[in-house]
């Protein structure tokens, strides 16, 4: 069950010193983010199929020509992801997209669309407010706006979608998409279109999760670029090509707490792992590393969020206490969770003996079908761990 949270609109007015002091005493939320991924036809190696992200450092932007080369993409197949800070703010934008494989029948690489929209969303988030800041530097002080316009999750999806539509190198294709904006005041806004999704884990429980958007079984909502030739063929012979819009995305707003774990993933995860299985996996890592702490013998599943200092780099396997992922390199807590989820989803996808969520859905809609086991698919996971800095720490960090 999700909780609604109204967004605060920026006010371009001066505030009193007392109000400013009150604002300064508020906690500041930061987000530790990592991603892991693997294409369905590739063996998974957690030491290489992982991406570490620090949104508070300068982000190296790749050129347009580099983005278009498949060799420059992560080994995630038709799945794609992005993580970026939003302008000069403390907000972090992240998301995943799952290319629609059916376009291969038309000679189109579905990865072009999914990777393209993620690249464009990352660039738009990173550049947000920068152009305006440059223009305002040449504007008289009294005429300047105090705060750049806010950026919404659905708006960011729209920007990425329109950029793909106008990219002549992407002649056709489609994908699902989910976009999250994590703000420094502890708010999360999510725009979800299709059957990728997110889950929010808190205190050893599933606090919130998304519901897939589908037109029919195994037919998710999807953004599309449809070339004129296909449109003409449909007009002549009938038929239809799905083409939903960012405005169709479901928008959810949530409040975050220190120690929350957010998982954004494509259907390669959700078709193979239940929410409770994800909870068990994440809880095992958080408890073993001390990020979540039991409250005593009689506390049952209740846990307490450990101090911010536990969200640190851990030596894989040796210090984590949850087993090695095949790498002797230093990893972060968030990357440890991301690689464990990806590894578990990959193992479940090729398991022919245990029916996963997708197999159960097949039996529900088509009782005579004999589908068993998991669903082999590309897998992409982005994990964010929420950290709340107390007011005194937040103020000192700015001095």
Query: Contact at 8 Å (CB) between 123 and 66?
Result: no
- Residue 332 lies in domain: 27-398
Q: Decide if 153 is inside a domain.
A: yes
DSSP per position, 6-24: PPPPP--S---HHHHHHHH
- Provide the pLDDT for residue 22: 44
Neighbours of 274 (CB within 10 A): 13
Q: What is the mean pLDDT of the chain?
A: 80
Q: How many structural domains does the chain have?
A: 1
Contact 186, 27 (CB under 8 A): yes
Bridge-partner residues for 76, per DSSP?
A: none
- Domain assignment of residue 178, yes or no: yes
Q: Is residue 11 in a domain?
A: no
Sign (positive/negative) of CA torsion 72, 76, 78, 82? negative
pLDDT for the residue 11: 34
pLDDT (tens digit per residue) in 296-314: 655 544 556 665 444 555 5
Q: What is the pLDDT of residue 1?
A: 41
Residue 9 included in any domain: no
Q: Give the helix ranges, DSSP H, for 109-227.
A: 110-127, 130-136, 153-165
Rounded to whole angstroms, what are the CA distances from 387 to 113, 256, 278?
Answer: 33, 9, 20
Q: 66-73 contacts: CB < 8 A, separation 24 or more?
A: 67/115, 67/116, 67/119, 68/116, 68/169, 70/109, 70/111, 73/111, 73/115
Phi, psi of 192 (to 5 degrees): -125, 125
Other beta carbons within 10 Å of 257: 14
Residue 258 lies in a domain: yes
Residue 298 lies in a domain: yes
Q: Is 285 within the bounds of a domain?
A: yes
Q: Residue 262: which region, alpha, beta or left (left: phi > 0; alpha: psi -120 to 50)?
A: beta
Bridge partners, 265 (sequence order): 197, 381
Residue 357 has a CB neighbour count (10 Å cut-off) of 19
Instruction: Return d(Cα 342, Cα 112) in angstroms, integer.
Output: 22
Tokens 């190296």 appear where? 60
Dump pLDDT digits (tens) for 194-245. 999 999 999 889 999 999 999 999 999 999 998 877 766 665 555 556 679 9
d(CA 198, CA 377): 18
Tell me the pTM.
0.83
**Domain presence at residue 17:** no
Q: Higher confidence at residue 233 or residue 317?
A: 233
Q: What tokens appear for 274 in the block?
A: 């239940």
The answer on pLDDT for 356 being more than 50 is yes
Q: For 232-290, write each residue's pLDDT tens digit.
A: 666 555 555 667 999 999 999 999 999 999 999 999 999 999 999 999 999 999 988 88
Neighbours of 325 (CB within 10 A): 22
CA–CA separation, 169 and 211 (whole Å) = 33
CATH of the domain at 183: 3.60.40.10
């Amino acid at each position: 069950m999700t909780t609604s949270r109204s967004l605060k609109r920026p006010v371009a007015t001066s505030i009193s010193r007392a109000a400013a002091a009150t604002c300064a005493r508020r906690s500041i939320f930061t987000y530790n983010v990592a991603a892991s991924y693997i294409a369905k036809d590739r063996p998974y190696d957690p030491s290489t199929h992982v991406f570490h992200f620090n949104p508070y450092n300068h982000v190296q932007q790749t050129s347009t020509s580099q983005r278009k080369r498949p060799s420059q993409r992560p080994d995630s197949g038709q799945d794609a992801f992005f993580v970026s800070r939003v302008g000069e703010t403390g907000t972090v934008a992240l998301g995943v997209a799952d290319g629609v494989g059916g376009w291969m029948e038309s000679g189109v690489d579905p990865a072009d669309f999914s990777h393209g929209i993620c690249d464009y969303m990352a660039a738009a988030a990173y550049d947000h407010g920068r152009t305006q800041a440059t223009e305002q530097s040449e504007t008289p002080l009294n005429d300047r706006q105090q705060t750049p316009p806010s950026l919404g999750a659905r708006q960011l999806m729209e920007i990425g979608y329109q950029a793909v539509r106008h990219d002549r190198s992407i002649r056709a294709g489609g994908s699902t998409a989910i976009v999250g904006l994590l703000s420094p005041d502890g708010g999360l806004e999510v725009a979800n279109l299709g059957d990728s999704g997110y889950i929010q884990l808190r205190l050893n429980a599933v606090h919130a999760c998304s519901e897939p958007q589908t037109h029919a079984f195994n037919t998710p909502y999807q953004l599309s670029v449809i070339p004129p030739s296909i449109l003409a063929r449909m007009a002549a012979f009938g038929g239809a090509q799905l083409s939903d819009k960012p405005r169709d995305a479901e928008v959810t707003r949530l409040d975050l707490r220190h120690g929350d774990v957010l998982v954004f993933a494509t259907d390669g995860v959700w078709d193979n792992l239940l929410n409770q299985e994800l909870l068990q996996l994440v809880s095992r890592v958080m408890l073993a590393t001390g990020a979540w702490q039991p409250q005593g013998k009689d506390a049952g599943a209740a846990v307490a969020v450990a101090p911010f200092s536990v969200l640190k780099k851990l030596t894989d396997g040796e210090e984590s206490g949850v087993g090695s992922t095949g790498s002797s390199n230093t990893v972060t807590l968030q990357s440890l969770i991301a690689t464990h989820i990806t590894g578990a989803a990959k193992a479940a996808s090729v398991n022919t003996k245990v029916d996963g969520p997708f197999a159960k859905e097949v039996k529900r809609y088509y009782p005579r079908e004999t589908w068993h086991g998991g669903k082999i698919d590309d897998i992409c996971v982005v994990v964010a761990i929420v950290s709340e800095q107390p007011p005194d720490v937040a103020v000192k960090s700015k001095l």
